[in-house]
A and B are shown apart, each in its own frame.
Chain A
Amino acid sequence: MRWYWLDRFLEFTSGRRAVAIKNVTLGEESLDDYYPGFPVLPPSLIVEGLAQAGGLLVGELSQFRERVVLAKINRVVFFRPVFPGDRLTYSADMLDCNPQGAIVQGQAAVDGDPVADMELVFAHLDDRFPRELFGPDELREFVDKFRLYDVARDEEGNRIPFPAYLRRA
């Protein structure tokens, strides 16, 4: 099983905002056991999807050289269940970013109907945590599969090039 909780980026403005989609299908095992007989996407995986979108928004600012982890969920509210066949739209907006980490406001919606609203705090890991989180191969896979650089732009609307150090040798 792959730990990808979004399918594709639709919009990505460096340091500011990312919009991604996730299509929910009955084929996903995680829908089987949450409420047996009533398949819904577990709300924790909506948080994970927004944490992946937001985490990549934070990581891109350092071309993914900083190790970014979800450190804290300040607030999360869920408004309705998400069913197979729904297409979730995740919007992640950067509220603040500094050398210690970042705060991201996240919203999930289906067809414009709000599903969840949250505030996530990400940390940049420092030298107390020496382990590498993702190697260049894994990072390349994330950004390729999510098609991040297909839509990535800077604040002036210029395309952002794929980081040279992540290119396949």
Chain B
Amino acid sequence: MPPTSDEIFAKVRDVLVDALAVDDDQVAPEATIVGDLGAESIDFLDMTYKLEKLFGVEIQRSELFPDDILTNAVFVKDGVLTADGIAELRKRMPFADLSRFESEPQIHNLGNLLTVSNLCRLIENKLAAARP
């Protein structure tokens, strides 16, 4: 039996509480990993490791933290993500809801893209893809 969405959320929450030293109740589905929960780049290493072990999936850092997009002149112009940049982001983070970001696509808002529920959806997608 694959884990239910609630079970995935509970496990993701435990990982975030452990890796980011936040309280259970701060880890709401809509909370952003960087903005609300205070994750720094090194925390992604730790979170990714724990999620991979727990769920038996592989997560690339670039799936969670597409920082290479930020340094690519094709995708960024004057601190704003171009249409190509947004298209690339959508490809990389299909689990994320970009609608809010698209209205203000400044790169400093990019850190606030990944939410707890995005992370859960990413895991769900990976678990589903791994099933025969």
B46: A residues at CB distance < 8 A: 72, 74, 103, 121
Of listed A95, A96, A123, residue having the most chain B CB within 10 A: A96
Of listed B43, B45, B46, B49, residue having the most chain A CB within 10 A: B45
Q: A158 an interface residue at 8 Å Cβ cutoff?
A: no
Contact between chains at B45 and A98 (CB < 8 Å): yes
Q: B19 an interface residue at 8 Å Cβ cutoff?
A: yes
Nearest CB of B to A19, in Å: 23
Size class of the A contact interface (CB-based, 8 Å): 10 to 19
Contact between chains at A101 and B61 (CB < 8 Å): no
Q: B44 an interface residue at 8 Å Cβ cutoff?
A: yes
Nearest CB of B to A116, in Å: 19
Task: Please report whether the interface of chain A is mostly helix, strand, loop or mixed according to DSSP.
Answer: strand
Given A72-B42, A123-B42, A123-B45, 15 other A-B residues pairs in contact with their CB atoms under 8 A: A74-B18, A74-B46, A95-B49, A96-B45, A98-B45, A98-B61, A100-B41, A100-B42, A100-B44, A100-B61, A101-B42, A101-B45, A103-B45, A121-B42, A121-B45
- Indicate which residue in A72, A95, A96, A98 contacts B43 across the interface (CB closer than 8 Å): A72
Give 19 pairs: A residue, B residue, CB < 8 Å, sorted on A. A71-B42, A72-B43, A72-B46, A74-B46, A95-B49, A96-B49, A98-B45, A100-B42, A100-B44, A100-B45, A100-B61, A101-B42, A101-B45, A103-B45, A103-B46, A103-B49, A121-B42, A121-B45, A121-B46
Q: Mark A120-134, 1 if CB is under 8 A from B, else 0.
A: 010100000000000
Nearest CB of B to A42, in Å: 23
Contact between chains at B19 and A74 (CB < 8 Å): yes
Q: How many residues of B contact A (CB 8 A)?
A: 10
B49: A residues at CB distance < 8 A: 95-96, 103
Interface residues of A (CB under 8 A from B): 71-72, 74, 95-96, 98, 100-101, 103, 121, 123
**Across the two chains, which residue of chain A brings its CB closest to B67?**
A126
Nearest CB of A to B39, in Å: 11
Sorted nearest first, the 10 A-B pairs with minimum C-beta distance are A71-B42, A96-B49, A100-B45, A101-B45, A123-B42, A121-B46, A103-B49, A72-B42, A121-B42, A100-B61
- The complex places the Cα of A101 from the Cα of B61 at a distance, in Å, of 12
- The complex places the Cα of A101 from the Cα of B43 at a distance, in Å, of 11
A121: B residues at CB distance < 8 A: 42, 45-46
Nearest CB of A to B36, in Å: 19
